[in-house]
Amino acid sequence: MAEATIPTFMRGKDKIMSLSDAVKTFIKPGTCICPGGFSYTKKPFALAREVIRQDIKNLFVTMNGGASICEFWCAAGLVKLLDTTYIGLEGIQPVAYSVRRSIQDGTVDVEDYSNYGYGLRTVAGRYGWPFAPLMSEFGTSFMYHDTFGKMGLRGKKADGSWIHPSIAPARAAVIEDPFDGWGLRPHAFEGGDGTSNQTNALEKVRESTAYTGNKGVKVILVPPILPEVTIILAQRVGEKGTTRIEGIWGPDNEQAISAKYCVAQAEKIVKEEELRAQPYSNTIAMQYIDAIVEVPYGGFPGQVPYYYDYDWDFWRAYTQVNRKDKAEVNKYIRDWVMEDEWTFLSSRPGDGYPTITGTKGLQRLFELRADAMFGYKPGLARPL
Amino acid sequence: MSVIRQSDPKKWTHVDDTEYEAYCKEKGLDPEKYTTMELLTIAAARQTYDFSFIFAGTGLPMIGCMMAQHTYSPNALIIMEAGILDPKLIEVPISVSEARGGYMCSTLSNMADTFGTFAQRGFCTFGMLGGAECDKYGNLNSTAMGGYYSKSARDDGKTGPAVRFAGSGGANNIASYADMGLAMMVQEKRRFPEVNEYVTSCTGSRGPLNTPEDRWHMGLFRGSGTTIVSDLCIFRSSPETGELEMSEIYPGVDEQLVIDNVSWSLKKAKDFKPFAAPHHEELKIARMVCDSNRIYLGRKTKRELAAEK
């Protein structure tokens, strides 16, 4: 086999790239991109900031687990399509304002799933399944709404190719359970059902004629997610791609493995052997990682479990900023990311918003370090 | 269902009285007088059972489940959808995924696994949620008002929904699998319509009981009804019809105010009773153990702001 045909995952150290090269290589205008992490935790913010620096527009963002990266991208006007479950910033801002405004003013088109519905799509994507079975979403408006379908983005063109290669031909489908609910617990185990479950309506469900017109248990099938690129943050990545995510995984492992390419932002790139000494703790196999970027503290202003805590004061101030005029927010976010990540990390933390200690730059990052026993910084001042 | 609650405050997490007084002084709080958010938190915790599974959504449920763990339900297992099972909460999390929410938990995994291994398998007694709108049968809308569709999928020439909310997140799934819904909401007439424009999650019966419109006849194989804890009263699903009824009313709240703040003709539950005011021991824990920074408790409702004026 000629050297040029060696698959990426066999090329070893070639995977280690600079932040700007990784983004330039894998993320193009219109790319279907899946940001990892969950809300404030383990979000690959360094990669997200580089996307803003390179001004990559018309992104199709598919995501589960909180909207903080999508919020920055919507603020910078980079998002066109959104396939998601939740656009809030949880406890700090119930609805991420730039995302909300972009949906309301027609800049962004959005398709909604529930978290488990989407989570099962990532499981299907991970295992290469054609679909996964879902037992919730029944009885709700999810069943009757399909944005991408109404936009004509589903299905095939006359030449037989997919209209949009990252959008499934149907949002979901309902089938009659060929096993008549046999697998649904609580089940008639001898001596009880063995769970704490106290309500079992399976017999009523067997009488249900909803969705198909026939009596019986129904199952929703959801399609896999097949993003072109997933970006994740991992505490440690081996030089050939073996990845260890510590703390809450959120949707990361499934989303990374579902994608065509995965770019990993690492707190530290380490020797493979360091991770292979305890292979049971590694979460993503080496061949699924296509590029590795080392950015210590690159998860700022978010939290990276066991490494550092989120910058509460930044988020509190940001949720005031993002309610300003759209053009002003756009200018703010483009200015905030600065010309490169190192300049950003050494000057932006603690800059331009009130903090209790008054520290700035690397000193502030140092101050946010987590206590290993907790995974966060106990007693971090979080004034409302 | 069997109900066990730890109602002896001596067995709750201990807070020293002198420290509490100093704290109240520092924060400018009356040690005996409660705010609306404190009332909501305490009311939600009182609904839970010990030895149950509390699947907590984001927002107010974060402090609701923490309050439950430190008082009435010390042995209840808390589940958070990012992958957390049975944490011991010592600082209130602001997200269902953050490390504060995972402290000393039994296992950490991923999102699909949490819903699958715990909720789908039947380890979900209470589905604790927040929502923007709640209708007559306990359906919550946390997605959109003024038309769901965004611009390119609309036919009415508008640029998008009038108001877009956060979307389901795990709310739909938590509501689908829970034995009982338990939602915390601020009550305003426009937030309590007779029928929701968009249904994100069915926490209650979904439609009239024993008709093709109820949750089970739509295909959901769990659930028994819901409890909605508002800032005026507590609603419960009627066991006969599935309709939300006024079940408990807070001290000092006029029944007419509750009736005026829902859009359907509200009935009183057969076992309607007044809600006992939050007491000293509960306030101590809500304030000092759960949220000493007042991240959630420091928020004020429109009604409170209007009363201040």
Give the model confidence (pLDDT) of A166-217 as tens digits.
Answer: 999 999 999 999 999 988 876 655 555 566 788 888 889 999 999 999 999 9
A344: distance to nearest CA of chain B, Å? 24
Tell me what pLDDT residue B2 has.
62
What CA dihedral angle connects B221, B227, B229 and B233, to 10 degrees?
150
pLDDT for B104 beyond 90: yes
- What contacts A10, CB < 8 A, 6 or more positions away? none
* Contact of A301 with A312, CB cutoff 8 Å: no
Tell me what pLDDT residue B230 has.
96
d(CA B66, CA B76): 10
Phi and psi dihedrals of B87, rounded to 5?
-80, 160
Phi and psi dihedrals of B290, rounded to 5?
-80, -45
Of A66, A199, A378, the CB nearest to B179: A199
Of B84, B99, B216, the CB nearest to A303: B99
Q: Do A104 and B1 touch (CB under 8 A)?
A: no
| Window 165-184 of B, Cβ < 8 Å to A | 165-173, 175-177, 179-180
- Residue to mutate among B48, B107, B222, with most A CBs inside 10 A, is B222
| Window 183-202 of B, Cβ < 8 Å to A | 198-202
Phi and psi dihedrals of A168, rounded to 5?
-65, 155
Q: Residues B228-239: pLDDT tens digits?
A: 999 999 999 999
Interface membership of B123 toward A (CB under 8 Å): yes
First-to-final CA distance of chain B: 45
| CA of residue A49 relative to chain centroid, distance | 15
- Give the C-alpha distances (Å, rounded to integers) separating A65 from A140, A222, B120: 21, 18, 19
Q: Do A198 and B200 touch (CB under 8 A)?
A: no
d(CA B177, CA B121): 9
Q: Which residue is associated with the tokens 């609650």?
A: B5
Of A103, A186, A209, the CB nearest to B150: A103
Of A139, A147, A209, the CB nearest to B150: A147
| CA of residue A120 relative to chain centroid, distance | 14
Total CB pairs under 8 A between chain A and B? 295
- Residue to mutate among B150, B205, B299, with most A CBs inside 10 A, is B150
Tell me what pLDDT residue A187 has.
60
CA nearest A62: which of A165, A139, A140? A165
Tell me what pLDDT residue A11 has.
60
- Asked if the bond preceding A305 is cis, omega within 30° of 0, the reply is no
Confidence of residue B3 (pLDDT cuts 50, 70, 90): confident
| Window 3-62 of B, Cβ < 8 Å to A | 51-53, 58-59, 62
Across all residues in chain A, what is the average pLDDT?
94
CA-based nearest residue in chain B for residue A64: B169
d(CA B80, CA B95): 9
Tell me what pLDDT residue A199 has.
84
Q: Residues B243-254: pLDDT tens digits?
A: 999 999 999 999
Q: Which residue is associated with the tokens 């002003």?
A: A328
Domains, chain A, ordered by start: 10-129+224-384 (3.40.1080.10), 135-154+161-222 (no CATH)
pLDDT for B1 beyond 60: no
Q: Residues B140-174: pLDDT tens digits?
A: 999 999 999 999 999 999 999 999 999 999 999 99
DSSP A102-155: HHHTTS-EEEE--HHHHHHHHHHHHHT-S-EEE--STTSGGGG--HHHHTT-SS
Q: Do B83 and A95 touch (CB under 8 A)?
A: no
- What contacts B306, CB < 8 A, 6 or more positions away? none
| Window 60-79 of B, Cβ < 8 Å to A | 62
Of residues A193 and B305, more confidently modeled: B305
d(CA A351, CA A92): 19
Is domain B9-308 classified as CATH 3.40.1080.10?
A: yes
Tell me what pLDDT residue A10 has.
61
Of A136, A247, A370, the CB nearest to B108: A247
Tell me what pLDDT residue A3 has.
56
CA-based nearest residue in chain B for residue A102: B160
Interface membership of B102 toward A (CB under 8 Å): yes
Ranges of residues in chain A with a pLDDT under 50 are 1
